[in-house]
């Protein structure tokens, strides 16, 4: 096996490894790759006690425990850097959509909308026409995204987000909080928007796109 074949094989093995990790238990994914600083902090604390114990009793077993602990403390942040979980991918897509809305980038929004989009009476084409009309009608800016919850169920995901924006319309000027429910469908390594529903705009509870202010 030449060097090129070895590189290809290594890349394939890494891809299989990373996907198998991402398909694991959500809490393990979150701990290892999304909030690893908690785990690293715990490991550093354990490493400290192991080091103290080794300095008092220099046994080979404690020496190996200290060395393995050091390797693990270094390996976990490296894994987090190279492995992107589905939750992180979905968060990136949400950020891209909100940024596109903030800048009025219709093409940027459409990039993340699935051809299978379906919400109320809207398919992708009619939904994008609705978005275009809304962007022309409402003067909003300074959108700030908060990911409230992500539930992944196989090839689909339901996400609840908060978006704070500044309204410059005639009927109201100032900051307005909003809550939305989005649904995504896996498309290879990407996630595409297939459904959207407003939950709350300001203090007003909503259940459909048709209830949004005209």
Which pLDDT score is estimated for 85?
81
> How many angstroms from the chain centroid is the CA of residue 4?
34
Kindly report the number of other CB atoms within 10 A of residue 63's CB atom.
12
Which pLDDT score is estimated for 37?
60
> Which residues of the chain form beta strands (DSSP E)?
140-153, 156-168, 173-187, 190-201, 204-205
Distances (CA, A) of 80 to 7, 19, 75, 98: 22, 13, 9, 25
CATH class of the structural domain 87-211: alpha beta
CB 161 within 8 Å of CB 145? yes
Tokens 């300074």 locate to 142
Residues 6+ apart with CB under 8 A from 157: 86, 90, 150, 151, 183, 184, 185, 186, 191
CB-facing half-sphere around the CA of 30: CA atoms within 13 A: 8
CB 136 within 8 Å of CB 106? no
CB 165 within 8 Å of CB 213? no
Tens-of-pLDDT digits for all 214 residues of the chain? 555 554 544 455 445 445 544 444 455 555 554 555 666 677 778 777 778 887 888 888 878 887 887 777 777 666 666 667 888 899 999 999 999 999 999 999 999 999 999 999 999 999 999 999 988 887 888 899 999 999 999 899 999 999 999 987 766 678 899 999 999 999 988 999 999 999 999 889 998 988 887 5
Residue ranges covered by each domain of the chain: 3-83, 87-211
């Amino acid at each position: 096996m030449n060097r090129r074949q070895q590189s290809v094989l290594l890349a394939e093995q890494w891809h299989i490894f990373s996907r198998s990790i991402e398909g694991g238990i959500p809490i393990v994914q979150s701990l290892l790759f999304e909030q690893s600083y908690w785990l690293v902090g715990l490991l550093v604390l354990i490493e400290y006690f192991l080091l103290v114990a080794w300095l008092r009793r220099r046994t080979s077993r404690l020496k190996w425990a200290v060395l393995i602990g050091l390797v693990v403390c270094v390996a976990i942040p490296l894994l987090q850097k190279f492995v992107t979980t589905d939750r992180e991918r979905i968060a990136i897509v949400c950020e891209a959509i909100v940024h596109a809305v903030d800048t009025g980038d219709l093409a940027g929004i459409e990039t993340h909308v699935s051809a299978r989009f379906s919400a109320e009476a809207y398919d992708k084409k009619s939904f994008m026409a609705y978005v275009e009309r809304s962007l022309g009608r409402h003067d909003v800016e300074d959108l700030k995204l908060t990911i409230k919850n992500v539930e992944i169920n196989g090839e689909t995901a339901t996400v609840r987000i908060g978006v704070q924006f500044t309204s410059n319309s005639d009927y109201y000027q100032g900051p307005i909080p909003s809550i939305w429910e989005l649904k995504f469908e896996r498309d290879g390594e990407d996630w595409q928007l297939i459904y959207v529903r407003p939950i709350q705009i300001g203090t007003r509870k909503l259940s459909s796109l048709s209830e949004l202010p005209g």
